[in-house]
Chain A
Amino acid sequence: MKLLRMLGRNIRDSFKSVFRNFALSLASISCITITLIVVSISIILSINVNNFASLVEKDVTIVAFLDTQITEEQKTVVEETIKSLDNIDSYEFTSKKDITEEMMDSSETFKNIMANWSEEENPIQDTYQVKVKEIEKIGKTAKEIEGIKGVSVVKYGEGMVEQLVVVFDTVRKICIGMVIALILVTAFLISNTIKITIVARKREIDIMRLVGASNINIKIPFIFEGLFLGALGSIIPIIATVIGYDTLFEHFDGQLFSPFIQLVNPNPFTFYVSLILLIIGILVGMFGSWRAVRKHMKI
Protein backbone atom coordinates (compact mmCIF):
# COMPACT_ATOMS: atom_id res chain seq x y z
CA MET A 1 0.00 0.00 0.00
CA LYS A 2 2.69 2.40 1.12
CA LEU A 3 4.81 1.50 -1.86
CA LEU A 4 1.89 2.00 -4.22
CA ARG A 5 1.12 5.42 -2.76
CA MET A 6 4.71 6.52 -3.15
CA LEU A 7 4.87 5.15 -6.67
CA GLY A 8 1.74 7.09 -7.53
CA ARG A 9 3.25 10.26 -6.18
CA ASN A 10 6.50 9.69 -8.03
CA ILE A 11 4.76 9.08 -11.32
CA ARG A 12 2.65 12.20 -10.88
CA ASP A 13 5.74 14.27 -10.11
CA SER A 14 7.71 12.95 -13.07
CA PHE A 15 4.83 13.62 -15.40
CA LYS A 16 4.50 17.17 -14.16
CA SER A 17 8.20 17.67 -14.59
CA VAL A 18 8.09 16.61 -18.23
CA PHE A 19 5.64 19.42 -18.92
CA ARG A 20 7.26 21.95 -16.63
CA ASN A 21 10.42 21.99 -18.81
CA PHE A 22 8.47 21.38 -21.94
CA ALA A 23 10.88 22.99 -24.42
CA LEU A 24 13.70 20.86 -23.14
CA SER A 25 11.57 17.76 -22.91
CA LEU A 26 10.50 18.35 -26.49
CA ALA A 27 14.12 18.33 -27.64
CA SER A 28 14.68 14.97 -25.99
CA ILE A 29 11.40 13.59 -27.25
CA SER A 30 12.19 14.67 -30.82
CA CYS A 31 15.59 13.08 -30.59
CA ILE A 32 14.09 9.81 -29.44
CA THR A 33 11.49 10.07 -32.18
CA ILE A 34 14.13 10.43 -34.89
CA THR A 35 16.20 7.61 -33.42
CA LEU A 36 13.26 5.28 -33.23
CA ILE A 37 12.16 6.04 -36.78
CA VAL A 38 15.60 4.99 -37.98
CA VAL A 39 15.44 1.94 -35.71
CA SER A 40 12.08 1.09 -37.21
CA ILE A 41 13.42 1.40 -40.76
CA SER A 42 16.37 -0.82 -39.90
CA ILE A 43 14.18 -3.46 -38.37
CA ILE A 44 11.76 -3.43 -41.30
CA LEU A 45 14.63 -3.67 -43.77
CA SER A 46 16.50 -6.42 -41.93
CA ILE A 47 13.49 -8.58 -41.38
CA ASN A 48 12.40 -8.19 -44.98
CA VAL A 49 15.86 -8.80 -46.35
CA ASN A 50 16.15 -11.93 -44.26
CA ASN A 51 12.72 -13.00 -45.35
CA PHE A 52 13.12 -12.66 -49.07
CA ALA A 53 16.73 -13.64 -49.08
CA SER A 54 15.70 -16.95 -47.60
CA LEU A 55 12.88 -17.25 -50.12
CA VAL A 56 15.16 -16.40 -53.00
CA GLU A 57 18.02 -18.56 -51.88
CA LYS A 58 15.98 -21.65 -52.55
CA ASP A 59 15.44 -20.63 -56.13
CA VAL A 60 18.45 -18.76 -57.32
CA THR A 61 20.94 -21.00 -59.03
CA ILE A 62 24.22 -20.24 -60.72
CA VAL A 63 24.50 -22.05 -63.98
CA ALA A 64 28.05 -22.59 -65.19
CA PHE A 65 28.42 -23.62 -68.81
CA LEU A 66 31.52 -25.65 -69.62
CA ASP A 67 33.54 -25.27 -72.80
CA THR A 68 32.40 -27.63 -75.51
CA GLN A 69 35.89 -28.97 -76.07
CA ILE A 70 36.50 -29.63 -72.40
CA THR A 71 38.42 -32.79 -71.52
CA GLU A 72 37.43 -35.20 -68.80
CA GLU A 73 40.43 -34.18 -66.64
CA GLN A 74 39.54 -30.53 -66.96
CA LYS A 75 35.97 -31.35 -65.90
CA THR A 76 37.25 -32.93 -62.71
CA VAL A 77 39.36 -29.86 -62.00
CA VAL A 78 36.29 -27.61 -62.49
CA GLU A 79 34.26 -29.75 -60.12
CA GLU A 80 37.00 -29.77 -57.49
CA THR A 81 37.36 -26.00 -57.74
CA ILE A 82 33.61 -25.39 -57.40
CA LYS A 83 33.51 -27.72 -54.43
CA SER A 84 36.27 -25.76 -52.74
CA LEU A 85 34.52 -22.34 -52.87
CA ASP A 86 33.12 -21.13 -49.50
CA ASN A 87 29.72 -19.89 -50.53
CA ILE A 88 28.62 -23.16 -52.14
CA ASP A 89 25.60 -24.84 -50.68
CA SER A 90 25.18 -27.63 -53.26
CA TYR A 91 25.90 -28.27 -56.91
CA GLU A 92 24.70 -30.60 -59.57
CA PHE A 93 26.20 -31.67 -62.86
CA THR A 94 24.08 -32.00 -65.95
CA SER A 95 25.82 -33.45 -68.97
CA LYS A 96 25.39 -32.29 -72.53
CA LYS A 97 23.86 -35.62 -73.33
CA ASP A 98 21.24 -35.31 -70.59
CA ILE A 99 20.17 -31.91 -71.80
CA THR A 100 20.09 -32.95 -75.39
CA GLU A 101 17.91 -35.91 -74.56
CA GLU A 102 15.69 -33.85 -72.36
CA MET A 103 15.19 -31.29 -75.10
CA MET A 104 14.60 -33.88 -77.77
CA ASP A 105 11.99 -35.45 -75.56
CA SER A 106 10.26 -32.17 -75.01
CA SER A 107 9.40 -31.42 -78.67
CA GLU A 108 9.31 -33.01 -82.08
CA THR A 109 10.89 -30.01 -83.77
CA PHE A 110 13.89 -30.14 -81.50
CA LYS A 111 14.12 -33.84 -82.04
CA ASN A 112 14.27 -33.51 -85.83
CA ILE A 113 16.88 -30.81 -85.80
CA MET A 114 19.05 -32.14 -83.04
CA ALA A 115 19.10 -35.69 -84.27
CA ASN A 116 21.20 -34.56 -87.23
CA TRP A 117 23.87 -32.81 -85.16
CA SER A 118 27.20 -34.43 -84.93
CA GLU A 119 29.15 -34.31 -81.65
CA GLU A 120 31.08 -31.22 -82.88
CA GLU A 121 28.04 -29.40 -84.19
CA ASN A 122 26.03 -29.77 -80.99
CA PRO A 123 26.05 -26.28 -79.36
CA ILE A 124 24.70 -27.59 -76.08
CA GLN A 125 27.16 -27.47 -73.23
CA ASP A 126 27.73 -29.42 -70.05
CA THR A 127 26.58 -27.41 -67.03
CA TYR A 128 26.95 -27.19 -63.30
CA GLN A 129 23.95 -25.89 -61.31
CA VAL A 130 25.26 -24.35 -58.17
CA LYS A 131 23.24 -23.16 -55.15
CA VAL A 132 24.82 -20.64 -52.82
CA LYS A 133 24.62 -20.23 -49.06
CA GLU A 134 24.46 -16.44 -48.93
CA ILE A 135 22.55 -14.66 -51.61
CA GLU A 136 24.35 -11.36 -50.96
CA LYS A 137 27.58 -12.92 -52.19
CA ILE A 138 26.15 -14.60 -55.24
CA GLY A 139 27.81 -12.14 -57.61
CA LYS A 140 31.23 -12.79 -56.16
CA THR A 141 30.75 -16.53 -56.25
CA ALA A 142 29.59 -16.36 -59.87
CA LYS A 143 32.73 -14.42 -60.78
CA GLU A 144 34.87 -16.99 -59.04
CA ILE A 145 33.22 -19.78 -60.97
CA GLU A 146 33.57 -17.87 -64.22
CA GLY A 147 37.27 -17.56 -63.53
CA ILE A 148 37.76 -21.30 -63.46
CA LYS A 149 39.53 -22.59 -66.56
CA GLY A 150 37.13 -24.49 -68.77
CA VAL A 151 34.05 -22.54 -67.72
CA SER A 152 32.82 -20.32 -70.51
CA VAL A 153 29.69 -18.52 -69.36
CA VAL A 154 27.98 -18.14 -66.02
CA LYS A 155 24.39 -17.08 -65.54
CA TYR A 156 22.44 -16.70 -62.39
CA GLY A 157 19.04 -15.82 -61.02
CA GLU A 158 16.98 -12.84 -61.77
CA GLY A 159 19.74 -10.29 -61.46
CA MET A 160 17.55 -7.76 -59.73
CA VAL A 161 16.91 -9.97 -56.76
CA GLU A 162 20.44 -10.12 -55.60
CA GLN A 163 21.02 -6.48 -56.40
CA LEU A 164 18.05 -5.63 -54.22
CA VAL A 165 19.36 -7.83 -51.47
CA VAL A 166 22.68 -6.04 -51.66
CA VAL A 167 21.05 -2.61 -51.65
CA PHE A 168 18.76 -3.44 -48.75
CA ASP A 169 21.61 -4.94 -46.85
CA THR A 170 23.76 -1.86 -47.34
CA VAL A 171 20.93 0.42 -46.27
CA ARG A 172 20.40 -1.76 -43.22
CA LYS A 173 24.05 -1.56 -42.25
CA ILE A 174 24.04 2.22 -42.60
CA CYS A 175 20.89 2.35 -40.49
CA ILE A 176 22.43 0.27 -37.73
CA GLY A 177 25.42 2.61 -37.65
CA MET A 178 23.07 5.56 -37.47
CA VAL A 179 21.03 3.95 -34.73
CA ILE A 180 24.07 3.48 -32.54
CA ALA A 181 25.16 7.08 -33.05
CA LEU A 182 21.63 8.38 -32.51
CA ILE A 183 21.12 6.36 -29.36
CA LEU A 184 24.28 7.85 -27.90
CA VAL A 185 23.19 11.37 -28.81
CA THR A 186 19.72 10.76 -27.43
CA ALA A 187 20.95 9.30 -24.17
CA PHE A 188 23.20 12.31 -23.79
CA LEU A 189 20.35 14.71 -24.49
CA ILE A 190 18.05 13.00 -22.03
CA SER A 191 20.80 12.93 -19.48
CA ASN A 192 21.12 16.66 -19.94
CA THR A 193 17.39 17.25 -19.67
CA ILE A 194 17.27 15.31 -16.43
CA LYS A 195 20.32 17.14 -15.18
CA ILE A 196 18.53 20.44 -15.67
CA THR A 197 15.49 19.03 -13.89
CA ILE A 198 17.72 17.99 -11.04
CA VAL A 199 19.24 21.45 -10.81
CA ALA A 200 15.82 23.09 -11.07
CA ARG A 201 14.49 20.87 -8.32
CA LYS A 202 17.52 21.11 -6.09
CA ARG A 203 15.53 22.86 -3.40
CA GLU A 204 12.89 20.18 -3.44
CA ILE A 205 15.53 17.45 -3.36
CA ASP A 206 17.23 19.10 -0.38
CA ILE A 207 13.94 19.35 1.46
CA MET A 208 13.09 15.76 0.64
CA ARG A 209 16.39 14.67 2.11
CA LEU A 210 15.86 16.88 5.11
CA VAL A 211 12.49 15.41 5.96
CA GLY A 212 13.76 11.86 5.61
CA ALA A 213 12.91 10.65 2.12
CA SER A 214 15.05 7.65 1.23
CA ASN A 215 17.55 8.00 -1.61
CA ILE A 216 15.63 5.63 -3.83
CA ASN A 217 12.48 7.60 -3.23
CA ILE A 218 14.27 10.77 -4.28
CA LYS A 219 15.82 9.23 -7.38
CA ILE A 220 12.85 7.33 -8.74
CA PRO A 221 10.89 10.36 -10.03
CA PHE A 222 13.83 11.30 -12.23
CA ILE A 223 14.15 7.80 -13.61
CA PHE A 224 10.42 7.87 -14.33
CA GLU A 225 10.86 11.18 -16.08
CA GLY A 226 13.36 9.57 -18.44
CA LEU A 227 10.95 6.71 -18.93
CA PHE A 228 8.17 9.13 -19.86
CA LEU A 229 10.38 10.99 -22.30
CA GLY A 230 11.25 7.69 -23.95
CA ALA A 231 7.65 6.54 -24.09
CA LEU A 232 6.43 9.87 -25.47
CA GLY A 233 9.20 9.79 -28.07
CA SER A 234 8.06 6.39 -29.30
CA ILE A 235 4.50 7.47 -30.11
CA ILE A 236 5.16 8.98 -33.54
CA PRO A 237 7.54 6.21 -34.68
CA ILE A 238 5.00 3.58 -33.70
CA ILE A 239 2.18 5.29 -35.57
CA ALA A 240 4.45 5.86 -38.56
CA THR A 241 5.54 2.23 -38.54
CA VAL A 242 2.07 0.77 -38.33
CA ILE A 243 0.47 3.07 -40.89
CA GLY A 244 3.54 3.39 -43.11
CA TYR A 245 4.27 -0.29 -43.40
CA ASP A 246 0.62 -1.19 -43.86
CA THR A 247 0.32 1.33 -46.69
CA LEU A 248 3.53 0.10 -48.28
CA PHE A 249 2.39 -3.48 -48.09
CA GLU A 250 -1.01 -2.67 -49.61
CA HIS A 251 0.54 -0.55 -52.32
CA PHE A 252 2.92 -3.26 -53.50
CA ASP A 253 0.42 -5.99 -52.94
CA GLY A 254 2.76 -7.78 -50.59
CA GLN A 255 5.59 -8.18 -53.08
CA LEU A 256 8.32 -6.02 -54.50
CA PHE A 257 8.67 -5.99 -58.32
CA SER A 258 8.40 -9.75 -58.63
CA PRO A 259 6.82 -12.66 -56.79
CA PHE A 260 10.34 -13.57 -55.75
CA ILE A 261 10.40 -10.73 -53.28
CA GLN A 262 7.69 -11.27 -50.70
CA LEU A 263 7.21 -8.62 -48.02
CA VAL A 264 6.55 -9.72 -44.46
CA ASN A 265 2.87 -9.50 -43.60
CA PRO A 266 2.18 -6.41 -41.44
CA ASN A 267 0.16 -8.41 -38.98
CA PRO A 268 1.58 -9.19 -36.44
CA PHE A 269 4.93 -7.86 -37.69
CA THR A 270 4.23 -4.16 -37.07
CA PHE A 271 2.91 -5.00 -33.63
CA TYR A 272 6.23 -6.55 -32.66
CA VAL A 273 8.18 -3.70 -34.19
CA SER A 274 6.07 -1.21 -32.20
CA LEU A 275 6.73 -3.11 -29.02
CA ILE A 276 10.47 -3.10 -29.71
CA LEU A 277 10.37 0.64 -30.41
CA LEU A 278 8.56 1.34 -27.15
CA ILE A 279 10.99 -0.79 -25.19
CA ILE A 280 14.04 0.83 -26.79
CA GLY A 281 12.57 4.31 -26.16
CA ILE A 282 11.95 3.53 -22.51
CA LEU A 283 15.33 1.92 -22.00
CA VAL A 284 17.22 4.79 -23.62
CA GLY A 285 15.20 7.28 -21.55
CA MET A 286 15.83 5.45 -18.32
CA PHE A 287 19.49 4.98 -19.10
CA GLY A 288 19.90 8.69 -19.78
CA SER A 289 18.22 9.71 -16.56
CA TRP A 290 20.04 7.09 -14.53
CA ARG A 291 23.31 8.55 -15.75
CA ALA A 292 22.24 12.07 -14.85
CA VAL A 293 21.09 11.00 -11.40
CA ARG A 294 24.34 9.18 -10.76
CA LYS A 295 26.42 12.09 -11.91
CA HIS A 296 24.54 15.08 -10.61
CA MET A 297 22.65 14.01 -7.53
CA LYS A 298 25.16 13.87 -4.75
CA ILE A 299 23.22 12.05 -2.11
Chain B
Amino acid sequence: MFVSDTMLKINDLCAKVEDKEILRQLNLEVKPGEIHAIMGPNGAGKSTLGNVLSGRPGYEATAGHVEFKGQDLLDMDPEIRAREGLFLAFQYPVEIPGVSNMELLKASVDARRAHAGLEEYSAIEFMKMAREACKTVNLDQSFLKRGVNEGFSGGEKKRNEIMQMMLLEPSLCILDETDSGLDIDALQVVASGVNAMRSADRSFIVVTHYQRLLDYIVPDYVHVLANGRIVKSGDKSLALELEAKGYSWLENEAV
Protein backbone atom coordinates (compact mmCIF):
# COMPACT_ATOMS: atom_id res chain seq x y z
CA MET B 1 0.00 0.00 0.00
CA PHE B 2 1.13 3.51 -0.78
CA VAL B 3 2.03 5.33 2.38
CA SER B 4 2.22 9.06 2.05
CA ASP B 5 4.53 10.97 4.32
CA THR B 6 1.73 13.40 4.99
CA MET B 7 -1.59 12.44 6.48
CA LEU B 8 -3.30 15.73 5.76
CA LYS B 9 -2.13 18.76 3.92
CA ILE B 10 -4.39 21.79 3.79
CA ASN B 11 -3.35 24.59 1.49
CA ASP B 12 -5.05 27.99 1.49
CA LEU B 13 -8.44 26.48 2.21
CA CYS B 14 -11.38 28.86 1.96
CA ALA B 15 -14.88 27.76 2.83
CA LYS B 16 -18.36 29.22 2.92
CA VAL B 17 -21.41 28.40 4.95
CA GLU B 18 -24.63 29.91 3.71
CA ASP B 19 -22.77 32.48 1.64
CA LYS B 20 -20.69 33.53 4.61
CA GLU B 21 -16.97 33.14 4.28
CA ILE B 22 -15.76 31.24 7.34
CA LEU B 23 -12.39 29.72 6.50
CA ARG B 24 -9.93 32.11 4.90
CA GLN B 25 -6.82 30.58 3.45
CA LEU B 26 -6.26 28.11 6.18
CA ASN B 27 -3.04 26.09 6.11
CA LEU B 28 -2.22 23.02 8.14
CA GLU B 29 -0.06 19.97 7.71
CA VAL B 30 -0.42 16.84 9.77
CA LYS B 31 2.02 13.96 9.50
CA PRO B 32 1.26 10.35 10.37
CA GLY B 33 1.49 9.69 14.08
CA GLU B 34 1.10 13.33 15.09
CA ILE B 35 -1.40 14.91 17.41
CA HIS B 36 -2.41 18.47 16.64
CA ALA B 37 -4.52 20.49 19.01
CA ILE B 38 -6.62 23.34 17.65
CA MET B 39 -7.83 25.99 20.03
CA GLY B 40 -9.54 29.27 19.41
CA PRO B 41 -12.45 31.49 20.31
CA ASN B 42 -16.07 30.56 19.70
CA GLY B 43 -17.14 31.11 16.14
CA ALA B 44 -13.58 31.01 14.81
CA GLY B 45 -14.37 28.23 12.37
CA LYS B 46 -13.06 25.14 14.18
CA SER B 47 -16.19 23.06 13.67
CA THR B 48 -16.47 24.39 10.16
CA LEU B 49 -13.03 22.97 9.43
CA GLY B 50 -14.11 19.52 10.66
CA ASN B 51 -17.32 19.75 8.67
CA VAL B 52 -15.58 20.78 5.47
CA LEU B 53 -13.03 18.01 5.85
CA SER B 54 -15.71 15.39 6.43
CA GLY B 55 -17.79 16.65 3.51
CA ARG B 56 -20.88 17.88 5.27
CA PRO B 57 -23.42 19.26 2.80
CA GLY B 58 -23.71 23.03 3.04
CA TYR B 59 -20.06 23.53 3.94
CA GLU B 60 -18.53 24.49 0.67
CA ALA B 61 -14.82 24.72 -0.01
CA THR B 62 -14.45 27.68 -2.37
CA ALA B 63 -10.69 27.70 -2.85
CA GLY B 64 -7.58 25.87 -1.83
CA HIS B 65 -6.63 22.26 -1.77
CA VAL B 66 -6.72 19.40 0.72
CA GLU B 67 -4.64 16.29 0.37
CA PHE B 68 -5.51 13.27 2.49
CA LYS B 69 -3.06 10.37 2.34
CA GLY B 70 -1.93 11.59 -1.05
CA GLN B 71 -5.41 11.94 -2.51
CA ASP B 72 -7.57 14.94 -3.27
CA LEU B 73 -9.92 14.92 -0.29
CA LEU B 74 -12.38 17.53 -1.52
CA ASP B 75 -13.00 15.41 -4.58
CA MET B 76 -14.33 12.49 -2.57
CA ASP B 77 -17.92 11.86 -1.46
CA PRO B 78 -18.31 12.01 2.30
CA GLU B 79 -18.83 8.25 2.72
CA ILE B 80 -15.67 7.60 0.72
CA ARG B 81 -13.71 9.94 2.98
CA ALA B 82 -14.90 7.91 5.94
CA ARG B 83 -14.08 4.62 4.28
CA GLU B 84 -10.62 5.97 3.46
CA GLY B 85 -10.11 6.54 7.15
CA LEU B 86 -11.25 10.04 8.03
CA PHE B 87 -13.29 10.22 11.20
CA LEU B 88 -15.03 13.18 12.78
CA ALA B 89 -16.20 12.94 16.38
CA PHE B 90 -19.00 15.45 16.36
CA GLN B 91 -19.28 18.35 18.75
CA TYR B 92 -23.00 17.66 18.92
CA PRO B 93 -23.73 14.03 18.02
CA VAL B 94 -27.29 13.59 16.77
CA GLU B 95 -29.84 11.26 18.26
CA ILE B 96 -31.28 8.73 15.83
CA PRO B 97 -34.13 6.85 17.47
CA GLY B 98 -35.00 3.59 15.79
CA VAL B 99 -31.53 2.93 14.40
CA SER B 100 -29.59 0.91 16.92
CA ASN B 101 -26.01 1.67 17.81
CA MET B 102 -25.10 -1.84 16.81
CA GLU B 103 -26.68 -1.49 13.37
CA LEU B 104 -24.76 1.72 12.79
CA LEU B 105 -21.49 0.20 13.96
CA LYS B 106 -21.76 -2.96 11.90
CA ALA B 107 -22.86 -1.11 8.77
CA SER B 108 -20.05 1.41 9.03
CA VAL B 109 -17.29 -1.05 9.84
CA ASP B 110 -18.49 -3.36 7.05
CA ALA B 111 -18.43 -0.45 4.62
CA ARG B 112 -14.93 0.56 5.64
CA ARG B 113 -13.58 -2.97 5.41
CA ALA B 114 -15.24 -3.70 2.08
CA HIS B 115 -13.68 -0.52 0.71
CA ALA B 116 -10.26 -1.71 1.83
CA GLY B 117 -10.84 -5.11 0.25
CA LEU B 118 -10.93 -6.78 3.65
CA GLU B 119 -13.30 -9.49 4.70
CA GLU B 120 -16.23 -8.55 6.88
CA TYR B 121 -16.21 -9.53 10.50
CA SER B 122 -18.78 -12.16 11.30
CA ALA B 123 -21.68 -11.02 13.42
CA ILE B 124 -20.34 -12.91 16.41
CA GLU B 125 -16.79 -11.66 16.00
CA PHE B 126 -18.01 -8.13 15.68
CA MET B 127 -20.30 -8.40 18.66
CA LYS B 128 -17.30 -9.35 20.77
CA MET B 129 -15.31 -6.40 19.50
CA ALA B 130 -18.18 -4.02 20.13
CA ARG B 131 -18.62 -5.28 23.67
CA GLU B 132 -14.93 -4.85 24.27
CA ALA B 133 -15.09 -1.28 22.93
CA CYS B 134 -18.02 -0.56 25.22
CA LYS B 135 -15.97 -1.65 28.18
CA THR B 136 -13.05 0.53 27.17
CA VAL B 137 -15.17 3.67 27.05
CA ASN B 138 -17.07 2.61 30.15
CA LEU B 139 -20.50 2.31 28.53
CA ASP B 140 -22.82 -0.49 29.52
CA GLN B 141 -23.36 -3.09 26.80
CA SER B 142 -27.02 -2.24 26.71
CA PHE B 143 -25.97 0.90 24.81
CA LEU B 144 -25.31 -1.25 21.76
CA LYS B 145 -28.97 -2.08 21.45
CA ARG B 146 -30.25 1.39 22.10
CA GLY B 147 -31.04 3.91 19.40
CA VAL B 148 -27.98 5.88 18.30
CA ASN B 149 -27.36 8.44 21.05
CA GLU B 150 -31.03 8.24 21.96
CA GLY B 151 -31.50 9.62 25.44
CA PHE B 152 -27.76 9.48 26.11
CA SER B 153 -26.30 12.07 28.46
CA GLY B 154 -23.79 14.52 27.03
CA GLY B 155 -20.90 12.45 28.33
CA GLU B 156 -22.36 9.21 27.01
CA LYS B 157 -22.71 10.71 23.56
CA LYS B 158 -19.06 11.71 23.55
CA ARG B 159 -17.96 8.30 24.73
CA ASN B 160 -20.13 6.75 22.04
CA GLU B 161 -18.23 8.78 19.45
CA ILE B 162 -14.97 7.41 20.82
CA MET B 163 -16.37 3.88 20.70
CA GLN B 164 -17.22 4.32 17.01
CA MET B 165 -13.74 5.66 16.42
CA MET B 166 -12.16 2.65 18.08
CA LEU B 167 -14.12 0.20 15.96
CA LEU B 168 -13.60 2.08 12.71
CA GLU B 169 -9.83 2.35 13.25
CA PRO B 170 -9.48 5.54 11.22
CA SER B 171 -6.21 7.01 9.95
CA LEU B 172 -7.17 10.56 10.79
CA CYS B 173 -9.36 11.34 13.79
CA ILE B 174 -10.82 14.78 14.24
CA LEU B 175 -12.24 15.31 17.70
CA ASP B 176 -14.44 18.37 17.88
CA GLU B 177 -14.68 19.47 21.51
CA THR B 178 -15.07 15.92 22.64
CA ASP B 179 -13.98 17.07 26.08
CA SER B 180 -16.52 19.87 26.50
CA GLY B 181 -18.94 19.15 29.29
CA LEU B 182 -17.13 16.04 30.49
CA ASP B 183 -16.20 15.50 34.11
CA ILE B 184 -12.69 14.39 34.94
CA ASP B 185 -13.60 10.71 34.99
CA ALA B 186 -15.24 10.81 31.59
CA LEU B 187 -12.40 12.94 30.27
CA GLN B 188 -9.91 10.31 31.35
CA VAL B 189 -11.96 7.62 29.64
CA VAL B 190 -11.93 9.59 26.40
CA ALA B 191 -8.23 10.37 26.71
CA SER B 192 -7.22 6.82 27.41
CA GLY B 193 -9.30 5.70 24.43
CA VAL B 194 -7.39 8.12 22.25
CA ASN B 195 -4.03 7.26 23.74
CA ALA B 196 -4.64 3.56 23.26
CA MET B 197 -5.17 4.27 19.58
CA ARG B 198 -2.07 6.38 19.08
CA SER B 199 0.17 4.84 16.52
CA ALA B 200 2.76 5.74 13.93
CA ASP B 201 0.25 5.63 11.09
CA ARG B 202 -2.65 7.38 12.77
CA SER B 203 -3.06 11.11 13.38
CA PHE B 204 -5.33 13.20 15.53
CA ILE B 205 -6.68 16.71 15.30
CA VAL B 206 -8.08 17.60 18.69
CA VAL B 207 -10.27 20.69 18.84
CA THR B 208 -10.64 21.93 22.39
CA HIS B 209 -11.33 24.94 24.54
CA TYR B 210 -9.56 23.63 27.54
CA GLN B 211 -5.92 23.08 28.22
CA ARG B 212 -7.01 20.40 30.71
CA LEU B 213 -7.55 17.81 27.98
CA LEU B 214 -4.01 18.30 26.77
CA ASP B 215 -2.68 17.08 30.11
CA TYR B 216 -4.12 13.72 29.16
CA ILE B 217 -3.71 13.79 25.41
CA VAL B 218 -0.34 15.37 24.90
CA PRO B 219 -0.20 17.13 21.53
CA ASP B 220 2.82 17.52 19.29
CA TYR B 221 1.55 20.90 18.11
CA VAL B 222 -0.93 23.47 19.29
CA HIS B 223 -2.56 25.86 16.81
CA VAL B 224 -4.76 28.83 17.33
CA LEU B 225 -7.59 29.21 14.85
CA ALA B 226 -9.11 32.67 14.76
CA ASN B 227 -11.12 34.39 12.05
CA GLY B 228 -10.95 31.40 9.79
CA ARG B 229 -7.21 30.82 9.75
CA ILE B 230 -4.37 29.48 11.83
CA VAL B 231 -2.87 32.55 13.45
CA LYS B 232 -0.33 30.97 15.72
CA SER B 233 1.28 27.57 16.16
CA GLY B 234 3.50 26.24 18.88
CA ASP B 235 4.06 23.29 21.13
CA LYS B 236 1.99 22.27 24.12
CA SER B 237 3.20 25.22 26.17
CA LEU B 238 1.14 27.45 23.89
CA ALA B 239 -2.00 25.90 25.37
CA LEU B 240 -0.98 26.99 28.84
CA GLU B 241 -0.24 30.47 27.60
CA LEU B 242 -3.66 30.63 25.91
CA GLU B 243 -5.42 29.50 29.02
CA ALA B 244 -3.71 32.28 30.98
CA LYS B 245 -4.02 35.08 28.44
CA GLY B 246 -7.12 34.25 26.38
CA TYR B 247 -7.29 34.80 22.64
CA SER B 248 -7.81 38.51 22.21
CA TRP B 249 -4.12 39.34 21.79
CA LEU B 250 -3.99 36.89 18.89
CA GLU B 251 -7.23 37.88 17.27
CA ASN B 252 -5.99 41.42 17.01
CA GLU B 253 -2.86 40.10 15.44
CA ALA B 254 -4.79 38.20 12.84
CA VAL B 255 -6.96 40.97 11.48
Q: Do these two chains really belong together in a complex?
A: no
Binding site for B on A (CB under 8 A): none
Binding site for A on B (CB under 8 A): none
